[in-house]
Amino acid sequence: MKLLAIDTSTEACSAALSINGEISERYEIAPRKHAELILPMIDELLSDADCTLAQMDAMAFGRGPGAFTGVRIGTGVVQGLAFSVDCPVVPVSSLAAMAYGTMQELTVDNVLAGIDARMGEVYWGAYQRSIDGGVQLLGEESVCKPDETRVPDSGAWTGAGTAWQTYEAELSDRFSGVLKNSDSFELFPRAQHIAALGVIAVNAGLAVSADEAQPVYLRNNVAVKKKP
């Protein structure tokens, strides 16, 4: 299977190409430069692999949650590319990608993934390793204050994401009973992990058409409104 994956949902910008399970990636932390970086990253990956977009079996992208502009860029880019070659698309949660990366690198099964959502809130999700090699969400993803995050009933959990940096004290105290590791490993979503989850989703028949590949913001209000 040949699958192209991208992520622009946070400060990091990345693209990855999975060919029969072998993944190559371009990754850069570059706030506000995603629009100028992502297409050259894709072109470079395809050129190095001597592939074209038309040869892709599917595309995957980080559908959020994350920065509003970044999520829109990623959605627009993958929709445009997929439409151009009539290719199916897999939307992958940015939180799930971080959880998967942490599980792979640290050999853990339970990850509390959190992204700093600004305005005193976090994007949050609790994930466990699934039997298909991917990740399984417990409950729902949410946007909430750090002290409103849901604490799992049991298990040993590892933190991942920028929320654990910004709100280290609050989250470490809140999850002290179940936290195995308070050092957040995967700070940002990466296209290589979106690619791996994308392949699993394609094999499970979860790919959709380009027009059905929609972003997930979680937060409806993306800007602070002044009080009257």
Which is nearest to 92 in space by CA: 217, 3, 198? 198
CATH number belonging to domain 94-181 = 3.30.420.40
Which is nearest to 67 in space by CA: 11, 124, 27, 112? 11
204 token code pair: 């499970």
Task: Name the pTM for this structure.
Answer: 0.94
Overall fold of domain 2-93+189-212: Nucleotidyltransferase; domain 5 (3.30.420)
Residue-wise pLDDT tens digits, 207-221? 999 999 999 999 864
17-36 average pLDDT score: 96
- How many Cα atoms are found within 13 Å in the side-chain-facing hemisphere of 187? 10
pLDDT of residue 71: 97
For residue 223, pLDDT over 50 is answered with no
Domain boundaries, the chain: 2-93+189-212, 94-181
> What is the C-alpha to C-alpha distance for residues 52 and 144, in angstroms, rounded to an integer?
41
> What is the C-alpha to C-alpha distance for residues 16 and 164, in angstroms, rounded to an integer?
26
